[in-house]
Amino acid sequence: MSRSVSQKNTRLARKLVMIALLMFGFGYALVPLYDVLCNLTGLNGKTDSAAVNEVIYPVDKSREITVEFVTSLNNSAPMEFRAETKKMKIHPGEYYTVNFYAENRTDKSMVSQAIPSISPGVAAEYFRKTECFCFTEQKFKAREGKTMPVRFVVHPDLPKQYKTITLAYTFFDNTERSVKK
Amino acid sequence: MSAIVVEHEHDHHEHGPAKGLLRWVITTNHKDIGTLYLVFGLAMFFVGGAMALIIRAELFEPGLQFVNPQFFNSMTTMHALVMVFGAVMPAFVGLANWMIPIMIGGPDMALPRMNNMSFWMLVAGILLLASTLFMEGGSPAAGWTMYPPLMLQTGTALPFAIFAVHLLGISSIMGAINIIATIFNMRAPGMTLMKMPLFVWTWLITAFLLIAVMPSLAGAVTMLLTDKFFNTSFFDAAGGGDPVLYQHIFWFFGHPEVYIMILPTFGVASTIIPVFARKPLFGYSSMVYATASIAFLSFIVWAHHMFTVGMPIAGELFFMYATMIIAVPTGVKVFNWTATMWKGALTFETPMLFSIAFVVLFTIGGFTGLMMSIAPSDFQYHDTYFIVAHFHYTLVPASVFILMAAGYFWLPKWTGHMYNERIGRLHFWLSAVSVNILFFPQHFLGLAGMPRRIPDYAVQFADWNMISSIGGFIFGASQLLFLYIVIDTIKGGTGEKVTNEVWEDAAKHSLEWTLSSPPPYHSFTTPPTVIPTEHI
């Protein structure tokens, strides 16, 4: 192999390695891109992760929407967790408060995080929460039970075809994770 | 690097391979490394095949017979990883190493030392992966897609499996860089890009796919690793992550990956069919553009693997239509192969038989793919045996058959001996019949609702599973014939003396047939003067 060809090969190989490294970075860049996309489109029913301010909307009395509340525990977390109301009829634009009850069933203190999800996913951007226990980690003492309110409004712009919205919460036992931190 | 180059220039006399076994460890010769890759690929084909037979044995009857469910899931996972990363990809890299320098009239691969390193890294990666079989908690059992959170429940094996994927990825990327550099810089004068044999073209495009997507897979599994051990929350909902994100990154790699396995297949088919049809390849340039289109489309269709995750309707529609468009360039290829055979003076030696079977059976796999591209129907097919049947049709009677065809086609060139044509044809007919007994019933099972990746099933699925398993065992046993033929041919085969061309008028199609059989250890140290153009 002549010297010039060999140099050309090395130069090309370097460029190609750079492309490979860039694509490794691209894999990581997909993480924030995905979050942005989810926020824009309501993909996967992701809701706001922080409280929104309470704004007064015109209440649409002509429409009634059923909101259902579903609770579950990840990986059989040692807790009790339920919604005090299973389902309610609401009007878009009006504020409502529902209570959830969660209890630590162990003899040790516990840190838990509830993760919300909305179905259908496209309705997520119209579902606004001004107060939710899911915005922060919840600390429970041994055997402690708590009643926690969620205050929400469904934006009056919600497209007409959505008659039922399901709000699902999953509680994750984060005790170990927060110890590591 | 420059010191090495100077030394090389002084050392320019002809020399053969080093003596002894060490030759195979330290070799930088493209033919030696090609042989290593091919032998390794064949060995892994039998290892992965043995795993498949464990799966088929367990599924022969309903109920749990031989293995526990955890091990069964390990087998589906390891079978896939071994076949994809250990058998099919290395075998095609082996063909690339052997044939690309010769086909373009170059003296060797562009970066011979890196070539050696990428082979041994592959071996290390596969050994690391295989070692997980003996670890506490067993080898990964979450499927080759390694979806979290299930994958994160793997025992001790998790970091080992992830580092194995890293090694395999780095090895493929180095191989790909080498192939691109070889094709760009090592071509003989007069060998313009549009005169290259189609096998070289398909590998050039495949190599770019590899460089573009293997790093994303490395990123995805690294995120799994940090989620498990370093408290990150990329895919952990408890920390604000999303498991579906993993699926997006994985399939951004995964979809091009399936084309990484099929594009070189197309290349070999386009090389073999014209020789036995005694006609130039029909539509050479349309083949090149079709390959490039398929490669481009592979980047924008990934979410058709995820129709059921709850995408907005616009997403479902986009990925559905984009997927359907792939049928167009693929159809161009199938029609071109058919047109190449049209009114040709066909003969049916073993490589041609395998290639024709490929065209027919790959088309079946293509059609079932089209069925699943329809998002609303896919909700029914998703994660059933229908998808298993689909991708096995595109991999076994397509990629694997073409690898067999390539073996029969080039073995006489590589060894200088003729293989036993009668046993070759027997191998073909046994394989072609049994592969259909094996996979065709899986379509019915899937449409009837049998889920994939389960060790036990409802009794109404019993009959077709039994037939499928019988086909599997015949297919597996038939492959021993191929092993016999390869060994027999290396040892001298039929004893018939093969010419340089081996196949009638093959030298009109491609440069390898102008060399002696077997070719000298160093070929085309001076570039060839006549470039064959019959294939165009």
CA distance A32 to chain B (A): 10
Write out chain B residues lying below 8 Å of A42, CB-based: 312
Name, in order, each residue with C-beta under 8 angstroms of A28's C-beta and a sequence gap of 6 or more: B219, B223
Interface residue ranges in chain A relative to chain B, Cβ cutoff 8 Å: 1-3, 5-6, 8-10, 12-13, 16-17, 19-28, 30-31, 34, 38, 41-46, 49, 74, 113, 115, 119, 121-122, 170, 172, 174, 177, 180-181
pLDDT tens digits, residue range B3-49? 444 444 444 455 678 788 888 999 999 999 999 999 999 999 999 99
Q: Name the domain count of chain B.
A: 1
Query: Three-class SS of residue A105?
Result: coil
Residue B238: give its domain's CATH number: 1.20.210.10
CATH of the domain at A95: 2.60.370.10
Domain around A112: 44-180
Do A4 and A53 fall into the same domain?
no
Strand partners, A164: A66
Contact (CB, 8 A) for B375 and B331: no
pLDDT band at residue A15 under the 50/70/90 scheme = very high
CA A141/CA B312 separation, integer angstroms: 41
ipTM field: 0.86
A42 pLDDT exceeds 80?
A: no
Nearby residues of B351 by Cβ (< 8 Å), 6 or more positions away: B272, B276, B405, B406, B408, B409
Sign of CA dihedral B230, B231, B236, B240: negative
The answer as to whether B529 is a domain residue is no
Q: Which residue is associated with the tokens 């009829």? A: A89
Return the amino acid letter for B408.
Y
Nearest CB among A13, A38, A49 relative to B181 is that of A13
Please tell me the distance from the alpha carbon of residue B419 to that of residue B407, in angstroms, as a whole number: 10
Give residue A179's pLDDT. Answer: 64
Whether residues A177 and B231 touch (CB distance < 8 A) is answered with: yes
Sheet holding A95-104, edge to edge: A79-83, A95-104, A145-154, A127-131
Whether B14 maps to a domain, the answer reads no
Indicate whether A29 and A48 sit together in one domain: no
* Residue bearing tokens 């090609």: B34
pLDDT of B316-328, one tens digit each?
A: 999 999 999 999 9
* Domain membership of residue B392 as a residue range: 34-514
DSSP line for B231-263 = ---SS-GGGT--HHHHHHHHHHHHHHHHHHHHH
Could you tell me the two tokens for B346?
Answer: 């066909």
Which residues, other chains included, contact B189 with Cβ-Cβ below 8 Å and sequence gap of 6+? B527
Same domain membership, residue A48 and residue A11? no
Above 50 in pLDDT, residue A121?
A: yes
Q: Which of A19, A31, A172 has the CB atom closest to B238's CB atom?
A: A172
Q: Look at residue B140 and give its three-state secondary structure.
A: coil
Contact B180 A38 (CB under 8 A): no
Chain A residues in contact with B231 by the CB 8 A cut-off are: 177, 180-181
Given a cut of 70, whether residue A180 has pLDDT beyond it is: no
A150 and A106 in a common domain? yes
Q: A102 and A164 share a domain? A: yes
B493 in the Ramachandran plot: left (φ > 0), alpha (ψ -120 to 50) or beta? left
Do A34 and A58 share a structural domain? Answer: no
B4 located within any domain: no
- The pTM of this model reads 0.90
B110–A13 CB contact, under 8 Å = yes
Quote the distance between the C-alpha of residue B16 and its chain's center.
31
CA distance A19 to chain B (A): 7
In a shared domain, residues A5 and A76: no
Regarding whether A50 and A22 lie in a shared domain, the answer is: no
> Annotated catalytic sites of B, by residue?
79, 108, 144, 171-172, 255, 257, 259, 270, 304-305, 330, 333, 452
Calpha distance B98→B38 (Å, rounded): 9
Say yes or no: A25 and A62 in one domain.
no
How far, in Å, CA of B512 to CA of B406, rounded? 13
Judge if A59 and A114 occupy the same domain.
yes
Number of domain units in chain A:
2
Nearest to B330 by CA among B357, B382, B365: B365
Which regions in chain B score pLDDT beneath 70?
A: 1-15
Residues A106 and A17 in one domain: no
Asked if the model's pLDDT at residue A149 lies above 70, the reply is: yes
- Cα A29 from Cα A23, distance rounded (Å): 9
